[in-house]
Structure 1
Amino acid sequence: MALSNNEILAIARELPIPVPWDRDRFIQNLATLRGRPIKLIATDTVTLTDSPCGLLLTRDDDDLILHESGTSDYHIDQIVCHEIGHMVLGHNSTRGVGADKQREIDMCRKVLPDIDPATVHAVLGRTNYASDQERDAEMFATILMMTAAEAADQQSMMRSVFFRSR
């Protein structure tokens, strides 16, 4: 079932968003909060047929977020925040079955040859937005980025000078 935008906003506002926004610091803060490492891996996802531009791989001891390497910082933030959305919204996708499972194994081997695909327990990708989970994760990414901007605005010197609380 899809979440409302207000529910997603409430979740985003509870996260340890650094001001000013810093993707790496945010990931470190979130990893600390969750008690498990999160690793960002830039990769060339364009070379993979029908591939997502982002991918979340859940393993026993850590989570890996793969994002497109040849794109803007803003797009990387959107991709990473989408995958974080899957994580914090509790989305789960067990390994595929049949052809899907083999496709996931092949993708893991091609993109991350040093990682044993058998260690990956769940795979979620940023591909299409037809499902509730994909829609929620994409909305989460957008709302999280807006929340980060909102937090920076609340702490800006201009705001404190021109809009003092009485």
Structure 2
Amino acid sequence: MTGLRVRKRHAALLRDLPAPVPFDARALCEGLAERRGRSIRLIPVTGLGDLCGMWVATDTADLIFHEADTTPPHQDHIILHEVAHLLCDHYPASLSVADHARVLLPDLDPDMVRRVLGRAAYSTVEEREAELLASLIRQRDVPDRTLTGSLRSALDGWRYG
């Protein structure tokens, strides 16, 4: 996917995204959950290993696990990164849902978990897309909401897949 196609996709996602003022990642999740009619639960945890965050979609809710032992701005970025995966509907094919549930969430019933996404399971393309969208979501709070020249240049040269 070219930088232009990614920009268009992200612009459409951003246009429809609730924009709390002042910006707050948790309030964004509340607004997104309300709009989707599906709860988003933010769950701070420690000891995720190589993961900083993880999105788990169950039949009734989206669970976003994020590292508790880091700074609030870093927690917000992790949450936005996982929200970006949710918005882009990323889904790793490397492990089955049941395998993900057994490895990452041993206390959850694997039949309940519909989809599990963790940073280590995404393709590089999906990781870059989620990182970019997370940054763009956060950038919306900046008074000049246009992309800076250096970010636009990076996007123009960025090729996916």
Task: Establish whether residue 131 from structure 1 lines up as the match of residue 124 from structure 2.
Answer: yes
* Aligned 1:1-166 pairs, distance under 5 A: 1=1, 3-46=5-48, 48=49, 51-93=50-92, 96-97=95-96, 102=99, 104-109=101-106, 113=107, 115-127=108-120, 131-150=124-143
Aligned length: 143
Letter in 1 for 2:91: N
Instruction: Give the TM-score normalised by the residue count of structure 2.
Output: 0.76
Kept in 1, the 8 Å contact 2:84–2:133? The answer is: yes
Once superposed, what is the RMSD of the aligned Cα atoms? 2.6
Measured after TM superposition, the shift of residue 148 of structure 1 is 2.6
Instruction: Give the TM-score normalised by the residue count of structure 1.
Output: 0.74
Kept in 1, the 8 Å contact 2:101–2:113? The answer is: no
Query: Gaps spanning 5+ residues in structure 2: where?
Result: 146-161
Measured after TM superposition, the shift of residue 20 of structure 1 is 0.3
Q: For 2:140, what is the secondary structure of its paired residue?
A: helix
Change (3 A) 1:65 1:89: same
CA distance in 1, matches of 2:144, 2:40: 23
Q: Which residue of 1 aligns with 2:154?
A: none
CA distance in 2, matches of 1:70, 1:116: 27
Measured after TM superposition, the shift of residue 91 of structure 1 is 1.6
* Cα distance per residue 1:52-98 (max 9 Å; x no partner): 1100001100000000000011111111111111111122236814x
Calculate percent identity across the aligned residue pairs.
Answer: 32
Measured after TM superposition, the shift of residue 13 of structure 1 is 3.4
Change (3 A) 1:95 1:116: farther
Query: Gaps spanning 5+ residues in structure 1: where?
Result: 153-166
